[in-house]
Copies of this chain bind each other. A is one copy, B any other.
Amino acid sequence: MDNALDYATSHTDAFIEQMEDLLRIPSISTDSAYKDDVRRAAQWLADHLEGIGLQHAELVETGGHPIVLAEHVVDESRPTVLIYGHYDVQPPDPLELWNSPPFEPTRKNNTLYARGACDDKGQLLMPVKAAEAYLQGEGDLPVNLKFVIEGEEESGSKHLVPFIEQYQDRLDADVVLICDTAMFDEGVPSITYGLRGMAYVEVHLTGPNRDLHSGTYGGAVENPANALARLIAGLHDDQHRITIPDFYENVRPLTDEERQTFRELPFDEEAWMRSIGVDAVRTEEGYSLLEAITARPTCDVNGVWSGYIGEGAKTVLPAKASAKISMRLVPDQEPDEIAEKARRYFEAHVPPTMTLEFRDLHGGYPVLVDTEHPAMQAAAEAMQGVYGKEPFFTREGGSIPVVADFKRILGLDSLLMGFGLNSDAIHSPNEHFGLDRFEEGIRSIIRLWDIYAQQSA
């Protein structure tokens, strides 16, 4: 391992230059105008993976953008790590807010500014460069590696699940490593062991057969917008608990140990509130802010619309009112079951004067990885080696659907070892990635594979 670490140290500049090469390719997956660029990024990666000494890398064609698949088998008896990442990026708009062009990587104060610098080109190159450090510095890898790098993460990952299903055998592994999350804070290394799931639904209430004049009909025709407001208002009680019957039925309670960790995390509530411009928060009764945003389920309106929404006054009594509502889920809630419970809630409360259309738009399972998992323990030890302190095991409030997919299809747990920061402006103008963290990530992964291989020996 020491040679690999030395190699990484002595090749830092080259690594960064290569990252810049990849960042120059505007691989915006959601915009078909960039289709060729997306493929160019995939090809760059496949070429690069073989270039650093991996046995095999290829582009797998899908109905959309290709998936980069690479393999390197040292010894069948060694553990196999499946690395997942994505080489596509978000559109850079609004361009005028960027201080330097999004696809001309720019270094400033040891930070690299570019679209994709953190999400996920910079982070996905960390295991690539760790592999290079072993292959070039040590002559071989301590573990077997597989890479699955998709090009549609920012546009729905439509072809990923079919790919995983089709390539199950070749994707056989012991654990998944994903470098696509943030650490808890600068200098606070962390490993994510929990993600929330989601049930996303849409409801439409329809009253009269057309928009009516509110003067001629108001007072007797029940207003779908008023009625929908009632249904939405009824989703929470005074303790800000969700009132959908049996909503909490399968929620696994937080353990004392988990709650202790939440208390120990160096979290500045005031700074957090300042960063989003609020003076106060509203959490479910009995839970801290951090618990509420990562380890408790939610029910939020994501969008609502009805009637006249232009300038000025129009006296319309709307025929219809609609809302998009999503529930973030925690283990062991099931998305389909929760959507069904929500459906029953709305059906039970729809006024007799109107009809309800309820659509279950999509769902995703919540994730909890056992922190005693050997890979988790190895990762913790590896990060301690780099940072000089034990990482926290933390939960994130968002969802990474692929984690549940890997579990469901391949039976694999995922190790979410992220080196981004929440302040890295991913999906926003001036996305950036600290080059210190890039190096720390590579070193952490080098250590991880060594420890994980020894554990399994």
The answer to whether A254 has its CB under 8 Å from any CB of chain B is no
B226 to A232, Cβ gap below 8 A?
yes
Residues on B with C-beta less than 8 A from A316 are 302-303
Residues on B with C-beta less than 8 A from A362 are 313
Interface residue stretch chosen among A41-49, A161-169, A215-223, A448-456:
A215-223
CA distance A234 to B232 in the complex (A): 12
CA distance A317 to B407 in the complex (A): 28
Residues facing B in A287-303 (CB within 8 A) are: 289, 292-294, 296-303
A208 to B276, Cβ gap below 8 A?
yes
Say how far A378's CB is from chain B's closest CB, in angstroms: 27
Count of identical protomers in the assembly: 2
B305 to A351, Cβ gap below 8 A?
no
Contact of A226 among B207, B236, B280 (CB under 8 A): B236
A301 to B219, Cβ gap below 8 A?
no
Residues on B with C-beta less than 8 A from A233 are 226, 229-230, 232-234
B229 to A282, Cβ gap below 8 A?
no
The answer to whether A212 has its CB under 8 Å from any CB of chain B is yes
CA distance A442 to B221 in the complex (A): 35
A301 to B318, Cβ gap below 8 A?
yes
The answer to whether A214 has its CB under 8 Å from any CB of chain B is yes
Interface residue stretch chosen among A124-132, A145-153, A320-328:
A320-328
Contact of A216 among B209, B283, B397 (CB under 8 A): B397
Residues on B with C-beta less than 8 A from A301 are 223, 225-226, 229, 306-307, 318, 321
A229 to B317, Cβ gap below 8 A?
no
B293 to A219, Cβ gap below 8 A?
yes
The answer to whether A9 has its CB under 8 Å from any CB of chain B is no
Mark A421-441 against chain B: 1 for CB-CB distance below 8 A, else 0.
Answer: 010000000000000000000
The answer to whether A284 has its CB under 8 Å from any CB of chain B is yes
Say how far A254's CB is from chain B's closest CB, in angstroms: 13
Residue of B nearest to A279 (CB): B353
Contact of A296 among B219, B312, B318 (CB under 8 A): B219
CA distance A276 to B323 in the complex (A): 23
A361 to B221, Cβ gap below 8 A?
no
Which A positions have Cβ atoms within 8 angstroms of B?
A: 196, 198, 200, 207-210, 212-223, 225-226, 228-236, 276-284, 289, 292-294, 296-309, 312-318, 321-324, 326, 328, 351-354, 361-362, 396-399, 422
13 additional A-B residue pairs with CB within 8 Å, beyond A212-B276, A313-B326: A198-B315, A207-B278, A209-B276, A210-B276, A215-B397, A216-B398, A219-B293, A219-B296, A221-B278, A226-B236, A229-B233, A233-B234, A278-B354
5 contacts between A and B (CB under 8 A): A208-B278, A216-B396, A223-B300, A230-B232, A302-B308
